[in-house]
Amino acid sequence: MSIWEAIRGRRTIGRVKQDPIARDQIDLLLEAAAWAPSHHMTEPWRFFVMTGEGRAVLGQAYADITVEAAQTAQGVQALAPEEAEAIGNKVKAKAYRAPLVIGIAVSPSASPHVNRQEEFAAAHSAAQNMLLAAHAMGLGAIWRSGDPMYHERMNQAFGLSEAEQLVALIYIGYPDMPLPVGKRQDYAAKTVWLTE
């Protein structure tokens, strides 16, 4: 597959089969991500590969965050144990929507010459490389984020320092849905040419 085919053909695939992904394929996804550009060659990314019951770390973090939010919304100190368990179990399942979940965190360089925003851009580029590689390999993937990913409890679950932050949860598997039709606005509508 050419790079143009990968770029134009990649789609978000939210439904995948539970068939396991081979280790050599996972290694290729990680290598593709690690070849992303980074300012000052800091390579400011960390990868968390979750398969099998390894996804429980993510599931438990989702549960803890959701139960905490439910308690706050109700203005109570603690939900009844059975209620908290029911809420937690429902959201834990989110971690098992794909046989492979790769968390990508930015680990910014502490060098005074490095711009923190550029470190995030590099980690996001790593995520895009991974998505393109997954598509080229015949895999389906979806880049998930949202408020729970940025919660302090999620950082704790993955052992991130105060300076680090998750930037992507990439769910990957063999597609279990038709490839959606892609469409984009013509780039000309969003382009300004400065020639003189």
CATH number, domain containing residue 136:
3.40.109.10
Number of domains in the chain: 1
In a domain, 70, yes or no: no
- pLDDT confidence of 77, banded at 50, 70, 90? low
In a domain, 9, yes or no: yes
Token reading at 125: 């580029």
Predicted confidence (pLDDT) at residue 50 exceeds the cutoff of 90: yes
Sheet holding 45-51, edge to edge: 45-51, 100-106, 165-173, 140-144
Nearest to 7 by CA among 182, 171, 153, 178: 182
Average pLDDT (51-78) is 86
In a domain, 102, yes or no: yes
Length of the chain: 196
> What is the value of pTM for the model shown?
0.93
- pLDDT confidence of 81, banded at 50, 70, 90? confident
On average, the pLDDT of the chain sits at: 94
In a domain, 12, yes or no: yes
In a domain, 112, yes or no: yes
- pLDDT confidence of 83, banded at 50, 70, 90? confident
pLDDT score, position 137 = 97
Q: Enumerate helices (H) and strands (E) in the chain, giving the number of each.
A: 7, 4
Report the half-sphere exposure of 180 (CA within 13 A, side-chain side).
12
Question: In degrees, to the nearest 5, what angle opens at C-alpha 90 toward C-alphas 85 and 96?
Answer: 120
Per the structure, the complete domain to which residue 100 belongs is given by 3-51+96-177
Rounded Cα–Cα distance for residues 160 and 76 (Å): 29
pLDDT score, position 87 = 87
Contact (CB, 8 A) for 106 and 165: yes
Predicted confidence (pLDDT) at residue 76 exceeds the cutoff of 70: no
- Residue 181, Cβ neighbours under 10 Å: how many? 6
Cα separations (Å) of 93 from 55, 89, 97, 184?
Answer: 10, 7, 7, 33
In a domain, 64, yes or no: no
Average pLDDT (118-138) is 98
Q: What values do phi and psi take at 67, rounded to 5?
A: -65, -40
In a domain, 182, yes or no: no
Contact (CB, 8 A) for 73 and 28: no
pLDDT score, position 69 = 85
pLDDT score, position 68 = 87
In a domain, 67, yes or no: no
Give the best-scoring range by mean pLDDT among 61-70, 139-148, 176-185.
Answer: 139-148
